[in-house]
Amino acid sequence: MYKILKSTDNGLDELELDNLEKGYWLDIVAPSEEELQEIAAATKIQMDFLSAALDEEEKSRIEVEEDQILILVDIPFLRSNKDYDTLPLGIIITATGIATICLEPNGVTADFGSHNSRLFSTFKKTRFLFQILYKSATLYLKYIRIIIRRTDELEIHLRQSMENNELFNLLDLQKSLTYFSTSLRSNSIVMERLLRLRNATQSQHLIKVYEEDEDLLDDVIIEYKQAVEMVEMYSHILNSMMEVFASIISNNLNLVMKFLASITILLAIPTLVSSFWGMNVAVPFEDSPYGFTVVVVLAFVVAIGSALWLWKRRMF
């Protein structure tokens, strides 16, 4: 699936693949093999550039050819209300336009449309590239803040009651932060390469950086640095929380086992005493009419004494 858009004075016009005009934006989402072949033939974009973002395990990087540049970054992706992940987003800049390609519909490219067409221009490829990267960075920060709020809520619930469901939710958030941390580190390397690339002679005809673009690029780098710092800090906090709750669960289990052991000891005392008087041999008080009462009282006295001793030893 793909669509081709071009900025005009009235907003965005949609173009056909066989009638491309300079300054187009080709937005590709989960394309079929036939669509990739058609796009490659019409735009002259290399097939390996188009297919790079379709591999979920592909790492962030920049590749420069004579007439096109591939910028591959990881973007945040919400799979469900409880599960965050990252996906590769390929941004390809050619002499005539810009193309984005991703495996699934995402919140980065979806934010650029007719509703805010005056805020970006497909003609200004470099600025549009930086706007896409800036949107990715702000989306990271948005999801990180949501994860932080959910972590605080789960911590409150876990302080009141240890439930498996809450712990599993906490584990999902921990995994999401791990994905974010890995992707943000890779994206930061891409940003550093992009800084060097803007002054490279071989790419100046594709990426022209103006003064207003410099400010936007600085904002992108600042946002990514902030996202990296937040992810690292809250990853440490979440790891510490998981370790603390694991220790609490283990301690609670030890307390339960200690209590059950004490109860077992107390229940064994009357059984032990009564066993002595249940043997088929001569025993004290066998001829006394109060023999049963004496044995019962003796068993309970010994049990109560043992209970007091265990209580002083903090076994309860």
pLDDT in tens, 81-130: 667 888 899 998 888 888 899 888 888 888 887 777 778 787 888 888 88
Q: pLDDT value at position 49?
A: 85
What pLDDT, on a 0 to 100 scale, did the predictor assign at position 199? Answer: 64
Grade residue 206 by pLDDT with cuts at 50, 70 and 90. Answer: low
Inter-residue contact 285 to 294 (CB < 8 Å): yes
Residue 204 — pLDDT band, cuts 50, 70, 90?
low
Q: Is the pLDDT of residue 202 over 60?
A: no
Spacing of C-alpha 47 from chain mean position: 31
- Report the relative pairing of strands 24-29 and 97-102 from DSSP bridges: parallel
- The answer on pLDDT for 203 being more than 60 is no
| Whole-model pTM over 0.85 | no
Which phi and psi (to 5°) does residue 14 adopt? -100, 130
The encoded tokens of residue 31 equal: 């394309």
Which carries the bigger pLDDT value, residue 17 or residue 60? 60
Task: Look over the chain and give the mean of its residue pLDDT values, rounded to a whole number.
Answer: 82
User: How does pLDDT run across 253-304, given as a tens digit for each residue?
Assistant: 888 888 888 888 888 888 888 777 777 777 777 777 777 787 788 888 888 8
Greater confidence, 85 or 197?
A: 85
* HEC-encoded secondary structure of 278-294: CCCCCCCCCCCCCHHHH
More confident residue, 210 or 128: 128
Better pLDDT: 68 or 213: 68
CA atoms within 13 A on the CB side of 103: 18
